[in-house]
Amino acid sequence: MAVAKSQSQEGGPTPGAPRLHVAIVMDGNGRWAKRRGLPRTLGHPRGVEAIRRTVEAAPTLGVGWLTLYAFSTENWGRPPGEVSEVMRLLKAYVNSDLDNLVREGVRVRILGRREGLAPDIAEIVERAEARTAHNDGFHLQVAFNYGARADIVQAARQLMEAAREGRLDPEALDDKAFEARLSTGGLPPPDLVIRTSGEQRLSNFLLWESAYAEFVFQDVLWPDYGLEHLKAAIAEFTKRERRYGGTVADDVLAAG
């Protein structure tokens, strides 16, 4: 897999424009397979192909950070065979693509709980992060064993412990201090959140971080996703007027 470099092209980013953080709920692998009369598990390998296409396309469209919702804390309740297939594909993806991600300047970061992961999964997660830690050309975050509510609770627990031990003055707690304790600490908030498959909900994904993100819901199953779909979502995003709780008049006054 080659990760394309950010470049100026028709429909591509404007030179010098800020890079976007795009987060995607990759939904529809099982339905893709079911519509073709196939077992649900056969949708997941095609979903991995869509990940490769999207990671390659994103930098050409002005995306600097791409966060993919791969496996939630709730997904452990799916049939064991399906869970095993997802784990197998995670290992296969890292083993086959990691060298190229390193060469292409991609930094990989895994969001979510590490506790309780099988040793082989924990090893592959740590290896992907360690080998790409020096890269900064493109940032790929994979939300794995992730749930936003659990992440918020964990951050609150850490802050409570710091306050109890005298390492934190509760009066000094603010948004930035809280955000630093989340799995996404140090990342910019998402500008755009995309969900595929036509469903219109967050499903416990980046609840805190998406407070002022724009949302685009696309009626395409994830295994069919690629450059043109991502380009269409970003084109829709560019039409939005982001006010961050203000109004047009407030923005004009502030600028003056």
- Residue type for position 35: R
Please give the structure tokens belonging to residue 253.
Answer: 């006054």
Please state the three-class secondary structure of 15-72 as a single string: CCCCCEEEEEECCCHHHHHHHCCCCHHHHHHHHHHHHHHHHHHHHHHCEEEEEEEEEE
Q: Active site residue: 29, 75, 95, 135, which one?
A: 75
Contact status, residue 62 vs residue 234, Cβ threshold 8 Å: yes
Distance separating alpha carbons of residues 166 and 73, to the nearest angstrom: 32
Q: Which residues pair with 110 in a beta bridge?
A: 142
Q: What per-residue string of b and e applies to 71-102 under the rule 16 or more CB within 10 Å gives b?
A: bbbebeeeeeebeebbbebbeebbeebbeebb
The span from the first CA to the last CA of the chain, in angstroms, equals 48
Cβ count within 10 A of residue 202: 17
Q: Active site residue: 27, 97, 151, 191, which one?
A: 27
Task: Tell me how far CA of residue 81 lies from CA of 85, 184, 189, 209, 232, in angstroms.
Answer: 6, 30, 34, 32, 35
Distance separating alpha carbons of residues 34 and 113, to the nearest angstrom: 30
Q: Is 95 a catalytic residue?
A: no
Q: Is 135 a catalytic residue?
A: no
What's the distance, CA 107 to chain centroid?
13
Distance separating alpha carbons of residues 141 and 8, to the nearest angstrom: 24
Q: Which of the residues are catalytic?
A: 27, 75
